[in-house]
Structure 1
Amino acid sequence: MKKIAVLLTCFNRKEKTISSLYSLYNAYATVSKSIELDVFLTDDGSTDGTSEAVKEKFPKTTILKGNGNLYWNGGMRHTWTAALDKGYDYFLLLNDDTTLYDNALKKLLEAQVYCVDKYGQQGIYIGSTQDPNTKKFTYGGSLLTHKFKFSYHALPPNGTYQKCDLGNANIMFVPKEVVTQIGILSDGYRHGIGDTDYTLKAVKKNIPCLVLPDYLGHCENEHKEVYEGFSEKTLIERWKYLNHPLGLAFKSTVLFMWRHFPTRVPFVVIAGIYKVFFPGLYIKSLRNNR
């Protein structure tokens, strides 16, 4: 019987985390006769009782404690490391604000069969999410259109499997064979970027990254406009926001570019300095180029 390790990290989103886990077990019910499933969750310092609620409702969950400064990428690395050498065949990266549809695990396992049949090897499988109210695409996979400009376009589900370059780990299914080749999420990123870095690592190794034909869950896009109120901040506030993992994550962005698009690094560094000292002009130029 194949074994899946489900990997999550959380911070003060008790209701959403519990809801996500309920949806996971509803999806598991459709494949439980052929699959074993265990859940690993890093709680990075929640003060809202998340760990206690998870332990009460899902007592078999392995709950790990963070240091309060892991953020998403650090938390997921912490979780994945704990599950890595325990004999799992697959790893499911799941955001704690994502609600799976009942057929999600069944469809991810079908993607594995499709990929091996189509490409002769295992791959990474991306489940797209949609807004629960508008039903519009929120997270999933994207295709690079220009490496130097780092431009790309999203690939909403269209009824067929689609190859992607950049994948979000709201729902990301990774066989152990892929982990053997490229490891887990890369170190060096604090909050975001680690998931798109991971699929790019796979693409460089000619490992297929596939967006599934249909939506596998829903998740609201709660990311606010990153430059909202930026020009009204003081110089020191802008500098802090530039470097904060929940702000513009400058260090992580430069590291990402260095690893995958090194010719862009000088421009990214210059742009980072420019936007701090001349925020109004920078934001105006962004709007003019849209």
Structure 2
Amino acid sequence: MLYVIIPVFNRWRYTAECLVSLRAQTNQEFRTVVVDDGSTDETAAELARGYPEVEVVTGDGNLFWTAGVNLGIRRALALGATRVLTLNNDVVAAPTFVAEMLAAADQNPTAVLGALEFDAATGEVIYGGERLDFRTNTRRDLLHELPAGLRTGLHPVTYLPGRGLLIPKAVIDKVGLFDEKRLPHYLADFDYTSVARRAGFPVLCNYAAQLSTYPEESGQTLTRKHRSVKGYYQHLFGIRGGGNLVNFTHFAIKNCPAIYLPYFLLNGYARRLVGYFMH
């Protein structure tokens, strides 16, 4: 059984839209677990009132993304999950999303699967996976390599984001859960999928499974809209900082081949130090 895990903190408008899109799935062979990490808006009341099919797990407001997802996965496994799918609350699943994910999972039972993503506001395709060259710390965006007519099928990638990520239980049994101790928020998803790939599991972006997202609502985007000394510090050292130097160091040490590590670290530090001020 597939369990969909959605960590949330406030922003009920997005959560409601996400849950409505799950109700509209052509394949309903899944259950949903929402991890409500101490929301102070109407989230708890609305979940209880209008979504009896959703299993709700609550936190104290200090879980952040990684611990929240892990709490949901633990609950799903206790309920008998054979696959889990992590989903951010600010995404909208196309009606065939679950069906396409399950079809690909049936054909590739040990694969970790991601999705093709579109901008919810414009309809423009914005993410189709990437491949990282650890030697040079350069990324190849698959969307730039594939003409629109060839954006189909499964594509091997280096890692995947957690906002629409299917993980077979076999991967969890071997790799464990997300690294909430060292990567409490950002990079935990890229780290997990990279570790899974290095452990021998295929990591594939499934172009038939499609999501719409709100890129302007990401923490990194919001932080950079109002640049300040405090924002710069949060960018480099805050738990929600997209350029967090400590998180990047953990990711690099865990995933970069040792021979390339010195350059990868120095290049990555430089990018994060100046990236806050770049458009």
Structure 2 partner of 1:23: 21
Specify the alignment match of 1:278 in structure 2. none
Note the alpha carbon deviations across 1:87-142, whole angstroms, 9 max, x for none. 212111111011001111110111113325xxxxx211111210123222334521
| CA–CA separation in structure 2 for the residues paired with 1:249 and 1:23 | 33
Deviation of 1:240 after TM superposition, in Å, equals 4.4
Distance in 1 between the 2:195 and 2:226 partners?
35
Unaligned runs of 5+ in 2: 144-149
Residues 61/139 of structure 1: CA separation in 2 closer, same or farther (3 Å cut): same
1:267 alignment counterpart: 266
Equivalent position of 1:43 in the other structure: 36
User: 1:215 & 1:108 partners in 2: Cα distance?
Assistant: 6
Structure of larger gyration radius: 1
By how many angstroms is 1:253 displaced? 1.5
Aligned equivalents of 1:136, 1:100: Cα separation in 2: 15
Matches within 5 A, 1:225-236: 230=227, 232-233=228-229
Partner of 1:93: 86
Residue 250 of structure 1 and its aligned partner are, at CA, apart by 2.4
Q: Which of 58, 78, 83 is the equivalent residue of 2:76?
A: 83
Is 1:73 matched up with 2:66? yes
**Contact 1:129 1:137 (8 Å CA) reproduced:** yes
Q: TM-score, normalised by structure 1?
A: 0.81
Pair 1:139–1:213, CA change in 2 (3 A): closer
Q: Is the 8 A contact 1:227 1:283 kept in 2?
A: no
- Equivalent residue of 2:108, what SS? helix
- CA shift, 1:147, in A, is 0.1
Name the CA distance, whole Å, in 2 between partners of 1:242 and 1:108: 35
2:6–2:87 CA contact under 8 A, matched in 1: yes
Q: Secondary structure at the match of 1:59?
A: coil
| Contact 1:138-1:219 within 8 A present in 2 as well | no
Superposition deviation, residue 22 in structure 1:
1.0
Give 2:8's match in structure 1, choosing from 3, 7, 10.
Answer: 10
Match for 1:152 among 139, 142, 164?
Answer: 139
Report the secondary structure of 1:201's partner residue. helix
Q: Secondary structure at the match of 1:216?
A: strand
Q: Does residue 212 of structure 2 align to residue 218 of structure 1? A: yes
- Paired letter, 2:58: K
- Shift, 1:8, TM fit: 0.8
User: 5+ unaligned residues in a row in structure 1: which ranges?
Assistant: 117-121, 276-281
Matching residue of 1:255: 250
Question: Whole-Å Cα distance in 1 between the matches of residues 135 and 102 of structure 2?
Answer: 35
Aligned position for 1:242: 236
* Deviation larger for 158-167 or 75-84: 75-84
Summarize the Cα distance change of 1:269–1:178 in structure 2 as closer, same or farther, 3 Å threshold: closer
Q: Taking structure 1 as reference, are residues 97 and 140 closer, same or farther at Cα in structure 2, changes over 3 Å only?
A: farther
Q: Equivalents in 1 of 2:69, 2:130: separation in Å? A: 21
| CA distance in structure 2 between the aligned counterparts of 1:270 and 1:129, rounded to whole angstroms | 28
* Amino acid aligned to 1:151: T
User: Over aligned residue pairs, what C-alpha RMSD do you find?
Assistant: 2.7
**What's 1:168 paired with?**
161
Could you tell me how far 1:60 is from its partner in structure 2? 2.9
Task: Kindly indicate whether residue 192 of structure 2 is the aligned counterpart of residue 194 of structure 1.
Answer: no
Q: Map 1:78-157 onto structure 2 (within 5 A).
A: 78-116=71-109, 122-144=110-132, 146-156=133-143
Equivalenced residue count is 264
1:182 to 157, 175, 178: 175
CA distance, structure 2, for counterparts of residue 268 and residue 159 of structure 1? 33
Is contact 1:203-1:209 (8 Å) kept? yes
Write the distance in 2 (CA, Å) between the matches of 1:159 and 1:269.
32
